[in-house]
Chain A
Amino acid sequence: NAGVTQTPKFRVLKTGQSMTLLCAQDMNHEYMYWYRQDPGMGLRLIHYSVGEGTTAKGEVPDGYNVSRLKKQNFLLGLESAAPSQTSVYFCASSRPYFNTEAFFGQGTRLTVV
């Protein structure tokens, strides 16, 4: 099973460039999440979605946009990348029950120069 797949795995951007990170899950999960992790820190929630066509802000949403046009995909966009957005980005998905685990992707390492 593929589980949660993130594309790309690595990327270097120049300041001001834009890009989209793709998260795809094949488990038919309703809930999807985008996190970022800076060196030596825990994961921080950027945006999340509780179903197709719905998104909401997390702890650190500034500078990011998201879309959930299809249930299996959750896209994270950076319209104008900044060096402060250099981080490792993780996507996760889960069923809509709080006694079930969330599954994480392997991360996208983004460097903005």
Chain B
Amino acid sequence: DAKTTQPPSMDCAEGRAANLPCNHSTISGNEYVYWYRQIHSQGPQYIIHGLKNNETNEMASLIITEDRKSSTLILPHATLRDTAVYYCIVRVLESNTGKLIFGQGTTLQVKP
């Protein structure tokens, strides 16, 4: 079963920041939070990941709460090309498999 909960859909105005929330209240202490996105049923594209510290790369920022039970993906200046399904994933450590268990994701619609 997915270990994350996300809102099914969100809208964002082009040029504004998109803030996508995720709850992962059952996350274990050494499990990472990953974010991927999927555009038009293409293969999922990696965005960012983190353990407990906030992370930033050229695509986005990841804010993880101190208790690690939730996180927020921030796209600082959303464009129309950021319209996609965004998946928040906890990478499962059991049996050293590193499985990515997907939930339903959030459909982000960036509007002009």
Contact = CB atoms under 8 A, between A and B. Distances in A.
Interface of A: 4, 31, 33, 35, 37, 41-45, 48, 50, 56, 58-59, 88, 90, 92, 94, 96-99, 101-107
Interface string B88-111: 000101001111111111000000
A106 B39 CA distance: 11
Contact of B44 (A43, A48, A56, A94): A43
Interface in B48-104: 49, 51, 87, 91, 93, 96-104
B44 A90 contact: yes
Contacts of B93: 98
Given A96-B98, A107-B41, A107-B43, 13 more contacts: A31-B97, A33-B100, A35-B102, A37-B41, A42-B87, A42-B104, A43-B44, A44-B102, A48-B97, A96-B96, A101-B34, A101-B46, A104-B43
Contacts, number: 64
Interface residues of B, number: 27
B104 A98 contact: no
Contacts of B97: 31, 48, 50, 56
23 contacts: A33-B100, A42-B2, A43-B102, A44-B102, A48-B97, A48-B99, A50-B96, A50-B98, A56-B97, A90-B43, A92-B100, A96-B96, A96-B98, A98-B32, A98-B91, A101-B34, A101-B46, A102-B46, A102-B98, A102-B100, A103-B46, A104-B45, A107-B41
B80 to A, nearest CB: 22
Contacts of B42: 106-107
B31 interface: yes
A28 to B, nearest CB: 16
Nearest to B42: A106
A33 B98 CA distance: 10
A105 B43 contact: yes
B19 to A, nearest CB: 21
A31 B98 CA distance: 8
A104 B41 CA distance: 12
A104 B44 contact: yes
